[in-house]
Amino acid sequence: MFHYTVQTNKTVDEAIQTLELSLKEEQFGILWRFNIQEKLNEKGIEFNQRYEVLEVCNPVEAKKVLSENVLNGYFLPCKITVYEHEGRTKIGLPKPSYLIGTAGEESATALRDIALDIERRLIMCLDKSIRK
């Protein structure tokens, strides 16, 4: 499966707030928060579902990935989505190990351990955020 998704009883805003704290513990920061619902409504397109995309980064890990192959920047920063679906808040991310695997055999081999470590840490952050 290309993604990891969890659900919580928290609101989208509460989930993002606790997620941000979990991410900081792993030296990831939220670079950008994109509210899709707000942007679509601003453009005159009715969209009634809360859906936010967070772009997160750990600068040390980003340098490692880019040092292996500059094309890996296509996967940066990591994305985490927080959204409402069927009355529940969900938090998910595309798995870095899956994304790196699409970059070609040379990159996949060189970066697999880095991608798996980042993935493990991000999943831990998601899991922590639903328990806090």
β 88-94/78-85 pair status = antiparallel
Determine the Cα–Cα distance for residues 99 and 101; give it in Å rounded to an integer. Answer: 5
**For the whole model, what pTM was predicted?**
0.89
Which residue type, as a one-letter code, is found at position 97? S
Positive/negative CA dihedral, 101, 107, 111, 115: negative
* pLDDT (tens place) for every residue of the chain, 132 residues total: 899 999 999 999 999 999 999 999 999 999 999 999 999 999 999 999 999 999 999 999 999 888 888 888 888 899 999 999 999 999 999 998 887 776 665 555 668 888 889 999 999 999 999 887
How far are the Cα atoms of 11, 57, 59, 121, 129 from residue 27, in angstroms, in the given order?
24, 8, 8, 10, 15
**75 within 8 A of 59, measured Cβ to Cβ:** no
